[in-house]
Amino acid sequence: MIKGQVLTGGRGKAGAVRKVSSTQEAKSTARQILAISVKDFPVKQLLVTEMLEIQAEYYAAITVDREAKSVVLIISAAGGIDIEEVAIRESEKIRRFEIPYVQESDFPETLTQWLSNSFPDQALCAQAVQIVQSMYRLFRDKDCSLVEINPLAHTAQGRLVAADAKIVFDDNGIEKHPDIVKLSNPEEYTADELEARAAGLSFVSLSGEIGCMVNGAGLAMATMDGIKLAGSSPANFLDVGGSSNPQKVLDAFRILLRNKQLKVILINIFGGITRCDDIAQGILWARDKLGITVPIIIRLIGTNEEQGRNMLNEAGLIVTRYMTDAINEAVNCTRKGSKS
């Protein structure tokens, strides 16, 4: 088997997982798979592995169910590439168990009970119990948010084999695990997103024309929604975060200005931990150093608002206290831009 290695699902359907029976065929197939993109992820690595004679495909996953506030085990006797459709159309084929937050010493026994209905015989069930226990240990020890084996293949030789797997690590736990950090693949992110991460900013590229710089994720999303409502569209999501640092504002400007579609920059700051004078300082630095040609619309309110506003007013920049006014002004700028 030749399997394209990409950090997304749907590989089989995209033709990135193929069977070959000779070296010759392997070479040409490998070349073909390396030319494929799966959901915008180009295949750059391949896994060549033994071909399994699969009798049945199971599904096993451990994840956190945020509604139940619990770690859950999900098991299905109908695994394979259509598991998501099974989950919707034949949900009775999927079994879900909450793993108690204090792990009991009789976990294997509990697992045996849970799994016995999904596996046809005891020997297979015993193998599955072993596998799920290992999955759970990995899940706990490495702060995962998902450990999934699909398919969990039952081979003609009677073995259970993890034929494919997906593991998602919790961003908040990653620092505890330097071995996992090493595995991270920068190709998951755009260049702008990587630069933003390095600068401690939370950034997502979008396709619109108004560059946004906001403090707080909720307010940033509300700003994007407001732009859409006023008839334009945001070029990005950018949260400068809770801390107060003019350098971060400068870094944020650098990232925004790389976007050539940009017609205007909208800054929306409601100071809490963030101080308005620090933001103002960052804006002034950016104006002096970066040669900005697009208009900047500034909404500044909250902690040290007066100092911030005075600094900007003295430099000839206009500041409003109202979010809707700032959004409307920014949208007007894009219209003026398109007329000229």
Partner 1 sequence: MSILIDKKTRVIVQGITGRDGSFHAEAMMKYGTQVVGGVTPGKGGRRVGTLPVFNTVREAVMETGAQCSILFVPAKFAPNAIREAADGGISLIVCITEGIPILEMVDLYHELKRKKVCLIGPNCPGIISPGKSKVGIMPGYIHKAGGIGVISRSGTLTYEVVFALSEKNLGQSTCVGIGGDPIVGTGYIDLLEMFENDEQTEAIVLIGEIGGVEEEKAASFIKKSVHKKVVAFISGSTAPPGKRMGHAGAIISGGKGGAEAKIKALRQAGVIVVDRPDLIPDAL
Dihedral angle sign, alpha carbons of residues 259, 265, 268, 272: positive
Give the C-alpha separation, 14 to 86, whole Å: 19
Which of 302, 307, 317, 332 is in the footprint of partner 1 by CB under 8 A? 302
Question: Six-digit token pair at 140?
Answer: 């706990």
Q: How far apart are CA 169 and CA 335, in angstroms?
A: 43
- Indicate if 59 belongs to the active site: yes
- Crossing angle for the helix pair 107-115 and 122-141, to the nearest 10 degrees: 130
For partner 1, what does the binding mask look like between residues 50 and 89, x meaning CB under 8 A? --------------x-xx-xxx------------------
Q: Is 145 in the site for partner 1 (CB under 8 A)?
A: yes
Which tokens sit at 194?
A: 């990587």
Nearer to partner 1 among residue 67 and residue 106 (C-beta): 67
CA angle 164–166–169, rounded 5-degree value:
160
Q: Which of 57, 58, 136, 148 is catalytic?
A: 148
Q: Is there binding between residue 200 and partner 1 (CB under 8 A)?
A: no
- Nearest approach in angstroms of CB 63 to partner 1 is 10
> CA 214 to CA 219: how far, in whole Å?
7
| Least Cβ distance, residue 219 to partner 1 (angstroms) | 4
Among 123, 217, 290, 315, which residue sits at the site for partner 1 (rule: CB under 8 A)? 217
**Binders of partner 1: how many residues, by CB under 8 A?**
50
Show contacts with partner 1 in window 267-286 (CB under 8 A).
270-273
Any alpha helices (H) in 238-275, and if so which ranges?
A: 246-257
d(CA 304, CA 186): 38
Catalytic positions: 59, 148
Point out which residues bind partner 1 (CB under 8 A). 64, 66-67, 69-71, 101-102, 140, 143, 145, 170-173, 175-176, 202, 204, 206, 214-222, 224-229, 233-234, 237, 239, 242, 270-273, 301-303, 322-324
